[in-house]
Amino acid sequence: MRQQLIQALVALLLIAAILLGVEFGVREGYLKAYEFPPASRIAQGFVELTTVGFPTGVTIWTHTFVTVMRILKGYVAAIVIAVPLGLLIGAVPVLDKMTAPLIVFFRSVATLSLLPLAIVWFGAGELTKVILIGYGCFWVMLSNVIAGVKYVDPALIRAARSFRVSGWTLYREVVLPAALPRMFAGARVALGVGFMVIVGAEMIGTIQGLGALIMEARSFYRSEITVIGMLVIGVLGFLISSGLAAFERLLLPWGGGSSEASR
């Protein structure tokens, strides 16, 4: 307890030292403000973002809301399709063998490299952004659901069979619950992917959203605004991930709350 306190204190001091160092360096002219935005500038930028907005009229709240909605749409769509599909593929070995190379292939294609094609197919509007996020989340979720179903501890299946439980009952009452922790892990990783894709997906065809904010700020050498965009994305990711972890503990009270829940 005491040691944790000291560790936290050291970490805080370190951060404070870095912030003060940057502040001092810029003031004395050793560092350029647009390369290393000092904390005071970032604070000013945040006030500007909450009142006037950047670009003018678009506040940080709008950016955040738009981004969260895009991620949620793509993410939820990906989960809703990936879960039943993965449950099916994982249960049917033939399907699994047939789809495995495809899944590895599509999963390996960096989502943002699809951006040009996606714009040709779906235009530069909302749909393209949601589809890109969905694409990124989908393959991660799908492979985790399949793995969850496939790699159920064989001892559990033998135990169930010894009680004459087989077929659909075995799948529903043993395979499915045994696969849930892995599926939740997949859902968390997929969410992370969604946040990684969003900045790129918002680079084009919009001035709203945290990704657009970051790009727009770059064009005006407003690096303090870029930093704010990064910070907000980080905080959002942390909050949503913690929410998912809490949801998992609620739904799977037997799991003991995996230790990497907040990652």
112 counts as binding other proteins under rule CB under 8 A: no
Q: Which is nearer to other proteins, 175 or 217 (CB)?
A: 175
Among the residue ranges 94-102, 121-129, 156-164, 206-214, the one whose residues contact other proteins (CB under 8 A): 156-164
Q: Restricting to residues 17-46, name those near other proteins by CB under 8 A.
A: none
97 counts as binding other proteins under rule CB under 8 A: no
153 counts as binding other proteins under rule CB under 8 A: yes
34 three-class SS: coil
Q: Restricting to residues 170-209, name those near other proteins by CB under 8 A.
A: 173-174, 177-178, 180
- What CA–CA distance (Å, rounded) separates 211 from 217? 10
Q: Which is nearer to other proteins, 132 or 185 (CB)?
A: 185
List the one residue from 6, 256, 259, 260 that touches other proteins (CB under 8 A): 256
Least gap, CB of 257 to other proteins (angstroms): 11
DSSP state of 205: S
168 counts as binding other proteins under rule CB under 8 A: no
Least gap, CB of 157 to other proteins (angstroms): 10
| Structure token pair of residue 177 | 């619950």
Q: Which is nearer to other proteins, 103 or 180 (CB)?
A: 180
Least gap, CB of 182 to other proteins (angstroms): 13
2 counts as binding other proteins under rule CB under 8 A: no
Cα-trace Rg, the chain: 23
CA distances, 214 to each of 30, 44, 138, 189, 248 (Å)? 25, 16, 25, 23, 32
Kindly give, in sequence order, each residue whose CB lies less than 8 Å from that of residue 226, ignoring residues fewer than 6 positions away.
37, 214, 217, 218
List the one residue from 159, 231, 239, 246 that touches other proteins (CB under 8 A): 159
Q: Which is nearer to other proteins, 35 or 153 (CB)?
A: 153
Terminal Cα distance for the chain, rounded: 22
| Structure token pair of residue 175 | 């395979």
Residue entry with tokens 């859902």: 187
- What CA–CA distance (Å, rounded) separates 152 from 29? 61
Least gap, CB of 144 to other proteins (angstroms): 18
Helix-then-strand count for the chain, H and E: 11, 0
Contact 204, 124 (CB under 8 A): yes
User: Which stretches of the chain bind other proteins, using CB under 8 A?
Assistant: 153, 155-156, 158-165, 169, 173-174, 177-178, 180, 252-256
